[in-house]
Amino acid sequence: MRQQCPVMGLQEGGERDFAASGVILTAFDWRATWHFDVASGRRFPIPETAPCGRNCRLSPDGTEMSYFNDATNAHNIMRLDGANRVFVTTNAIDVQWWDADTLFAWTPGVSAFLLHDGEQEAFDADNLISVQPGGAWGLRVDFDGERFNRSLVDLRSASAGVLALGEDISYYNNFAWSPDRRMLAFVQPIPISEGVYASELFLLDLSTLALRQVTQLQIAYGVTRVNGVAVNDLAWSPNSTRLAFWVTPDSASGDPPAETQAVLHLLDVASDELTAYCGFSSAAHTPNPPHLVWSPEGDALAFAADIVDDGRGAFLIGVSVESGRYSILSEGIYAAYGSPDAYLWGSKP
């Protein structure tokens, strides 16, 4: 494992010393989703919105988003500056792009449908917890009387072929489909003792169904968690070459117990090289560590975090993938749903 640990730690200076660009969606108050221009530091609330949390999605070109309008009880799409708003549907809790012209709208366990050129087409997503963009594969969780188990389902096959992916345990079950639709990344619980697990990351090639373990976190840290209870929260880079996530060592067994910190890690998918970005760590990792969003160019990550006892509230923080430098981009991120959050990072319209 490689360590990327600049001695400067968390840096002031914000956007002036941060090379990435684009628009980050976040919240600076309870009233709205805010547009933050990374290059200039300018920000403004988007009218007629509420903080969108995890219930907003980025378009394939990164210039639009789907969002839920509380006032009209409907999903809409709009540009990242709030312009060009278009009604989508009132009959779903999640709307995401499958491609530039196709939207997938669903309420898991209830109904799902596709929207294309104004036409609605039913989609069978019964018993699935996630559907791969494009609709080729789905993830399912079943109870066998003793435990919950995950499986991969081939949605194109009349026989609905199933590949077992192991037990589904809260805090040890994160996953994410790669943007290029070639891979599924998922966390597997590794039993250590009764009720004690470590986490390891696996990649599944969806064309060959070849599976490989790409981390050895137990060797490096002992008992660990990867991310939290928000299961679809591993962060693929836009070009599907890297995967970002938080690793939290379980230090509660120490004497005395050490303060547990989550550290950002980055996996190079081609080489399986793992890098720990140790210039910053977060004690806010339960139930979830900070949500990670990638820059459109794939050269930086951003998240929101509150530094304990500094009296300044929560920061919007950017980290350069190349240098490992953490920079404060802005202050005053509002914890709309219990914790401060960065929602999306897209391109300027």
pLDDT the model gives residue 253: 46
Per-residue pLDDT, 237: 98
CB 314 within 8 A of CB 304: yes
Q: Residue 279: what pLDDT?
A: 87
Q: What is the DSSP letter of 146?
A: S
* Exposure b/e, 288-324, CB count within 10 A at least 16 = b: bbbbbbbbbebebbbbbbbbeeeeeebbbbbbbbeeb
The number of C-alpha atoms within 13 Å of 98 and in the hemisphere containing its C-beta is 16
Asked whether the beta carbons of 316 and 304 are under 8 A apart, the reply is: yes
Alpha-carbon distance 52 to 38, whole Å?
A: 19
Question: Over the chain (349 residues), what is each successive 10-residue block's mean pLDDT?
Answer: 81 68 96 94 94 92 93 92 94 93 92 91 92 95 94 83 90 96 96 90 96 95 93 96 95 54 96 94 91 96 84 88 92 93 94
pLDDT in the model for residue 250: 80
What CA–CA distance (Å, rounded) separates 149 from 127?
13
First CA to last CA across the chain, in angstroms?
Answer: 38
Q: Give the tokens for residue 292.
A: 């990670």
Residue 280 — φ and ψ, nearest 5°? -155, 145
pTM of this structure: 0.93
In the chain, the amino acid numbered 75 is H
CA distance 325 to 302: 12
